[in-house]
């Protein structure tokens, strides 16, 4: 009986007809999942990790203190920092040169986590296709420019804090906390 049923299904092309019914139902209830990408873009998730950028304080000075921790944290050796003393202030350092080779970056965000002064940020930019891959070798000015256009609202410099707190991000009770 079961074999007879199977045979009838075979000669009436039952399974093929069932499949064709499925495809036809998709044609009739046409709801495309396509996003017409250059014309319409998807909403990015809140924690989207896009292009990296260097940030500034609201008075326009760079946040980066040239500590090299991002370079140490980077798993694919994207970052190269050349650190130097701030002229006239022997206790302060800054990044004299700062390079990122974005051809290698895998957007893990470990440099951002490693930064003690929150000088690095991940923007929501992702359209960075270029014809010449040397254009993805970014210097400090370019990275700061990305930060400027992606984070127009800048963090205030914490004026009350001891100069060393900026280095080590140590929270003192008498110093106002940075917003997390």
Contacts with other proteins by CB under 8 A lie at 13, 16, 19-20, 22-24, 26-27, 30-34, 36
| Minimum distance of other proteins from residue 16's CB (angstroms) | 7
Query: In the complex with other proteins, which residue's Cβ is closer, 16 or 170?
Result: 16
Coil/strand/helix, residue 144: helix
What is residue 14's DSSP assignment?
H
| Minimum distance of other proteins from residue 6's CB (angstroms) | 15
Residue-wise burial string across 45-66, b where 16 or more C-beta atoms lie within 10 A, e elsewhere: eeeebbbbbbbbeeeeebbbbb
Query: In the complex with other proteins, which residue's Cβ is closer, 8 or 106?
Result: 8
Strands 89-101 and 120-122: unpaired
Query: In the complex with other proteins, which residue's Cβ is closer, 34 or 47?
Result: 34
With residues binned 3-state (H G I as helix, E B as strand, rest as coil), the percentages for the chain, rounded to 5, are 30, 20, 50
Query: In the complex with other proteins, which residue's Cβ is closer, 35 or 44?
Result: 35
| Minimum distance of other proteins from residue 14's CB (angstroms) | 13
């Amino acid at each position: 009986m079961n074999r007879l049923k199977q045979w009838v299904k075979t000669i009436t092309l039952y399974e093929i007809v069932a499949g064709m019914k499925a495809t036809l139902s998709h044609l009739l209830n046409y709801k495309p999942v396509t996003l017409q990408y250059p014309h319409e873009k998807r909403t990015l998730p809140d924690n989207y990790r896009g292009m990296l950028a260097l940030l500034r304080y609201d008075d326009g000075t760079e946040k980066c203190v040239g500590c090299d921790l991002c370079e140490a944290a980077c798993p694919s050796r994207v970052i190269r920092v050349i650190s130097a003393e701030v002229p006239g202030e022997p206790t302060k350092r800054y990044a004299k040169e700062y390079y990122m080779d974005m051809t290698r970056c895998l957007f893990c965000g470990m440099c951002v986590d490693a930064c003690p002064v929150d000088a690095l940020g991940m923007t929501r930019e992702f359209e960075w296709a270029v014809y010449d891959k040397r254009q993805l070798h970014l210097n400090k000015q370019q990275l700061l420019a990305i930060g400027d256009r992606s984070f127009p609202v800048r963090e205030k410099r914490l004026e009350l804090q001891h100069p060393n707190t900026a280095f080590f991000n140590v929270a003192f009770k008498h110093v106002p906390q940075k917003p997390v």
